Structure 1
């Protein structure tokens, strides 16, 4: 029951924040005066997370309106964001910026190594000086490319930080319509979902989550009780006749005599 099909993954942290805030300020809610007596806050939180789908369903209407207003503000799903439209050019530039210092540095190492090795073997060979000169040129190019890459990464980080949208939070600046829809959902979730669930859990800790479904939820399930069937022996009414009795047969040994006692 922890999975709520109608509650998007991006809104689950907000659900948990509202739940944690309610438990943190339980003393301010008369219905939660029993927190800590039968059940502590951590136990109640675990139970409420297990029943996320049932609790969030109590504010299903407000949540649908909030999601609709948010999606309208974000625009059509198929319309790419400006940063995505610039993705191809920015990606090619980033690849060149990263590879240039690596390639220039590798060339500098190769030319310098070969040039100084040739100078050690034959100091009079003119190619040695050429290789060394080329090596130092690539070394300077690698240093300049590294500096340019560092500046480019710094500017990209500043640009992305200024244009990125923050995650939903208590202090996030939202358009007025989205903010109103969000606040209505949060209020309904707290008043019609979380608080009634916690109140019922404190009243009857042994009941299952289905019996604590908040009132007004379409998924409310009645508590079903089962009792052990009683069995009794057959009744002895008027129709019951006397039970038959059995006696063992009387066996006696045959009467045997001598020849003089032959039967007539």
Structure 2
């Protein structure tokens, strides 16, 4: 379960898409006909995103049900996948002995055998035909040519083996993909829960919010949020404009709290006068 009004990260894009759809089709709703007079679509979108918790709270019951149904489906799918992975594949027993070396060896042989056979064929044929040009012709030249053609036949056989192996692998993968597609099909219960949440979010959360925002007379042009806090469903961002006042005349304020210093001349006389 999720806390009231808080969406999971995977569902936030769905909220954004639903909000954009509501703003895009606002001209089809009479209650949103004043869109663009005081607030435009982008300003309304910013206000709605700032009030996401407020909007999603209106459909919290449907959202909790949707999350629960979806979670149960995922748990069931995970359990089925775990059971399938623990089962033994009869074909896998032949190719894999548990260490993974059987399938790896077959792949290496399927790739290297045609290459090695083709290389040997080319070498033996080149050497055999080169020896036939020598006069007198060596006795083993024909043997080398025969060996080269044997490697040619081996190359063809290796290529056929590789093609068959690829076809078998493709058939197995196709069967696995079909099973995965069937397992990933969304059940009707999850689809119904999702549509119920979307409808509740649109009709009880997004649309009333947009309607109240457009009907609020304090939402003046150029302000993404109303300047009067707490107006209906409109969120309060927690700040107001500073209250500036002009300074009053000098007579209204207190006088400075200081005075000029009191200087006096030093008390002294000439050298013939005793200061004591």
User: 1:230 maps to what in 2?
Assistant: 245
> Shift in Å at residue 206 of structure 1?
1.2
Q: 1:55 to 1:140 in 2, by over 3 A?
A: farther
SS in 1 for 2:187: coil
User: 1:136 maps to what in 2?
Assistant: 153
165, 169, 180: which one aligns with 1:163: 180
196, 201, 205: which one aligns with 1:184: 196
Mapped to 2, the partners of 1:153 and 1:225 lie a distance apart of 67
Q: 1:189 to 1:100 in 2, by over 3 A?
A: farther
1:174 counterpart = 2:187: yes
Gaps of 5+ in 1: 242-264
Task: Indicate conservation of the 8 Å contact 1:115/1:130, yes or no.
Answer: yes
Task: Indicate conservation of the 8 Å contact 1:101/1:143, yes or no.
Answer: no
Question: 1:1-264, aligned counterparts within 5 Å?
Answer: 6-9=7-10, 11-35=11-35, 37=37, 55-75=55-75, 79=79, 81=81, 84-85=85-86, 89=92, 101-123=110-132, 124-125=140-141, 126-150=143-167, 152-153=169-170, 156-157=173-174, 159-161=176-178, 163-164=180-181, 173-176=186-189, 178-199=190-211, 202=214, 204=219, 206-208=223-225, 215=233, 221=236, 224-233=239-248, 236=252
> Shift in Å at residue 71 of structure 1?
0.9
Task: Give the TM-score, by structure 1 length.
Answer: 0.61
Gaps of 5+ in 2: 133-139, 256-276
Encode CA deviations 1:221-248: one digit per residue, 9 max, x unaligned.
Answer: 45532332325336649xx89xxxxxxx
Aligned residue pairs total: 228
Task: Indicate conservation of the 8 Å contact 1:58/1:189, yes or no.
Answer: yes
SS in 1 for 2:72: helix
